[in-house]
Structure 1
Amino acid sequence: MRALDLRRLAPDAQPGEARPALMGSGGVLVYGEALADLVPEDAGAARYEALLGGSGFNTALTLARCGAPVSYCATLSHDALGRRFRARLEQDGIDLRFLAESDKPTPLAVVAPLGTDGAARYHFHLARTTLDEPPPLPASFDGIAHLHLTSFGATVGASGERALELMRAARAAGLSLSYDLNIRPPALPGPEEILRLIEERVTLCDLVKLSIEDAEQVFGAGYETVVARWLSEGRALVLLTEGDHGAHLVRARGERVRGYAPVTELVDTIGAGDAFMGGFLASVARAGELGPALRSLSDEAAASAMDVAARVAAETCGRRGCDPPRLTPELPSEQSRT
């Protein structure tokens, strides 16, 4: 099996230009917020640029640019930002049949001036936005093998409640499920409530992703015990990302598969975790191991997915905002295992 080669970036697609999918055994449905990242143009933050973002949108965009068939489930505003989101989704060939529309405004995330580490820190404006009007449940999951849910749009408020309903419907329909915690404390309730909401969603999943930062904020120093418990209770896979130290895929049988790619040019880390998740799922999709097969993910597919995910995330860190690379299948990946 050949992985996606980051050394070969496909040319930018033109609006309306279809991009061939890498596999046809079932696509990925992504549920999560679309919000505008207001990113300072200089250290003094005198001017801000509105970049398209949000964990759900970023992940769907990455999947599409990695060649995976992907659908996006969210509510977009009729405002100017909402129109920009729709245009970008259409340009990248993302299936929009699960989208809803609203007159409420697009939510915003104001990014604090970036430090030397490029890490993004956010101040959210979410009240009375499209997050209050989640999309309806799909009438069917035709053509969908996997449901991925991410961040506060899948966890709290009306959007979070709809996410839980969607997860239960997808589980009943036989889809595989993944959930990316992607913790953003300013957008979340108190610690006891967020723990309850997270656990409620984790129990429905085959694959859970969290960062070291997520883990320490929610579970403290004992997060490894929590990961072990999730696996013992039926989760098949846990993705643990560790910033510039790479990431590990922890399997129920105890094996860890490492993924690492150096960041050659750091611009910012906005959307890097979403790009990692999108790259991982795209690689597994290409291997034909979404759906029931995800629970017994092959060694080859696991190693390849970690390699692809790490390289996609590293490339994204070299771009302003979440602008994941467009990839083509070329050379075999270098597989790394510990």
Structure 2
Amino acid sequence: MDRNDFIGDTQADHRLNATAIRVYKWSVSRGYVSIAETIDLLGLTQCEARDSLDSLVSVHLMELQTGSERAGDDTALRWRALDPQIAAAGLASAESRLRRKVADLSGSRRNLDELSRVYSILSTAHRSGDAIEVFDSPAEAALLSEEAMTRCRSEVISAQPGEGGTAEEVGPATARDVELLGRGVRLRFLYRESSLHHPPTRSHVSRVTAAGAHVRTSAELFGRLMVVDRSVAFVPHHRVAGGAAVVRDRSVVTLLCEAFDHAWGRAHAVEVGRAKPAELSDLHRTVLRLLSEGARDETIARRLGVSLRTCRKYVAEIFEAIGAESRFQAGYLAAQRGLLK
């Protein structure tokens, strides 16, 4: 038997019985031995002797003398004992291959478990007849939105009132959007003006506008929204950050699209290929209007989706621009000059 047969034969049972072990111990000090000697000196039957010798050969503890097999007569065959380290080397190789196989199987199992989870989520979503489904899990919500984008055929509209994530988080979204544009899908994105001061968001907008997306900005937005092919909408979970409500009811989706289109009509276009924020005067007018309504800095910051520090910076710029020294005076001067219209 060739050693490769031993290594590759993972189904065989290579354990030795007591008779085979006795034959091996006896043969170690005798050099070459024959079946006849094994029978006579150990008191074995011919079948026991031959089975023991064959078992020892199969695990590389004995080898058949070269040339003796050509005689065609079992009585002329001779075997000699081998160092167990030779068998150990074969076992080590087999163990190594087995470990690699187990690692491969473990990897396959992890892949199947993950795909099973994906199948369960997506198949349930597509089979469901519910007009609105709520997903608490951010991972499930993200999976469903990505799957909807992948299946998109005509248009995606999206309102993003806050800043995006890090460059590492925004990068995959940019690549996906560029791929959609390459397939002829129309993309329309609404951002708050302040969002374009966020470097990763600005980079994303620059790339997708250069690839053909339509992007507009507004000082205020009604909320986060994404609608795919005007047939399925994604809105934020009302309690769980990252969760989502998936809306398929035609009437509700149509209403959401109309809200988006209304905001789109009042927003300012971003220059193609450049994430250039709209003129600050529009943002300042919004801050002025909120100040005149008596809104506190915290409220204004929340409405604009900016930090309190940034909001106060806007207020200071307004005071400087119109020469006001107080909120009351700023409101009065703004009304006098028609800046609130």
Q: Same fold (TM over 0.5)?
A: no
Higher helix share: 2
Alignment TM-score, normalising by the size of structure 1: 0.26
Q: What TM-score do the two structures reach when normalised by structure 2?
A: 0.26
